[in-house]
Chain A
Amino acid sequence: MSKTYNLTTPLSEADVVQLKAGDIVYLSGTVYTARDAAHKKLIDLMDAGEDLPFDVNGSVIYFVGPTPPKPGDPIGSAGPTTSYRMDSYSPRLINEKGLRGMIGKGKRNKDVTDACTKSKAIYFGATGGAGALLARQIKSAEVIAYPELGPEAIRKLEVVDFPLTVINDTYDQDLYKIGRAQYEVK
């Protein structure tokens, strides 16, 4: 049976090992945004042995490229983008830098789910195409790196009760496979 949790970042190992695929999590605290272009820059910095623009240990990265905010709003619409484009970058952030959570939508490859199992990290799904609804849970947004990337810049977000579903847990379970098998008619 799926359970519901309220968690606050940074996430500890104990926070994430209790989660199972299908659980609901309302996440609060700091979340960093990054899409493929920003991930590539992070990995380049790691290759060069340089510091990253934020402390990845225990952090959660949200794969999102928001629309521009209207005057007075912290952010525009901000739903998840498809996560597989980050598959070649995520394992190193998890294994070498202690990344604990990723928020996106869509399937991840085996390298990512293996890293989640080995180094205890969670892949969360947010509802794709619910950008206006999700933006309500984002209270502030500040570009902290790569402003030249526009919507793809790294932003520091403060979120409150951000609604998530656990897709891949630390036990190699995948909600996409479990859920589909339950309703597939052969």
Chain B
Amino acid sequence: MREIKYEDIVKSIRDCIMYSGTNLPKDALEKMNEAYEKEQSPVAKEVLKQLLENADIASSESKPLCQDTGLAVFFVRVGEDLKVVGGTLKAAINEGTEKGYTDGYLRASTCHWDTRANLKDEVGYNLPAVIHFDLVEGDELTIEYAAKGGGSENVSRATVIPPAAGRKGVVDYVKEVVSNAGPNPCPPLTVGVGIGGTFEKAAISSKHALFRKLGSVNEDETLASMEAELIEELNKLGIGAMGMGGTQTVFGVHIEKNPCHIASLPVSVNVQCHSSRHAVIKL
């Protein structure tokens, strides 16, 4: 049984959150440069220029890329031969989150659903984190982190379509969601799609799809071809950077699939803004 110290997890998460808040990951930066090169609309090109400049300023001045520094979302794979000493894994992730958001001068964005009162004093600064655990073989701990903004979450949607609708039904639904979203989620977007499983499994898969490296090719041939088709179709919508019209509406489309119930075809679309702040910690 391998042991990991509680404090080591707290520190790794704190450091990761602080870095991610002010440094756009390399894959997102590459996609933004690529969009700037390809964009046909002068208005959208100016927006992309501002976003590239913003990434420079954020990194050099250690200032958050965006004032919406997100809810902290984690996908955690825990090896069964691993033991956390000094506290629980969940508590360590939450403590690291609170420290990262506080020490990094990031925003406390959690609130009560009804009164809308900020939870920073009652629960903790930007707590609770949203954590998805998975048990795996071995003695490693892998923590995937993303800062998930509200604007793009607000346009995300899930449904269950009839199995007869098939691939076309999935493609049409993704197009409908992105088209309706228009300028609101801060395009260019990464579009996470979860297919199959139960209703909530599709939603969680669509979230996890956003953590994949931008520009990577899906290992599944059918999904890879759907991703290529969707990138082309979504760019044809003409939404462009910040929705002012343009040819570059998406950075990428990432699809994850699950086996379905024989009666169902769940589809979930989770939208990510251009400020795609995500990172992986291995301990």
Contact = CB atoms under 8 A, between A and B. Distances in A.
Contacts of A2: 43
A106 interface: yes
A131 B116 contact: no
Nearest to B64: A77
A77 B108 contact: no
Interface in B39-54: 40-41, 43-44, 47, 50-51, 53-54
Interface stretch (B76-84, B91-99, B134-142, B243-251): B243-251
B1 to A, nearest CB: 41
Contacts of B109: 151
Interface in A1-49: 2, 22, 37
A107 to B, nearest CB: 6
A160 interface: no
A133 B50 contact: yes
Contacts of B63: 70, 76-77, 131-132, 135
B66 A79 contact: yes
Interface stretch (B3-11, B204-212, B231-239, B259-267): B231-239
Contacts of A151: 67, 107-109, 118
Most chain-A CB neighbours within 10 Å: which of B63, B118, B151, B247? B63
B243 A127 contact: no
A168 B11 CA distance: 47
Given A64-B67, A135-B63, A151-B107, A127 B242 contact: yes
B244 A175 contact: yes
Interface in A75-108: 76-79, 81-82, 84, 105-107
Contacts of A135: 63
B184 A84 contact: yes
Interface in B87-128: 105-109, 116, 118, 120
B52 to A, nearest CB: 10
Contact of A132 (B65, B154, B186): B65
Contacts of A180: 182, 237-240, 243, 245
Interface residues of B, number: 50
A125 B186 contact: no
B64 A131 contact: yes
A132 B245 contact: no
Contact of A184 (B51, B53, B151, B237): B237
A182 B107 CA distance: 37
B14 interface: no
10 contacts: A76-B105, A79-B66, A107-B183, A128-B66, A129-B274, A150-B118, A165-B43, A175-B244, A180-B238, A182-B41
Interface of B: 22, 40-41, 43-44, 47, 50-51, 53-54, 57-58, 61-69, 105-109, 116, 118, 120, 150-151, 154, 182-184, 186, 236-240, 242-247, 273-275
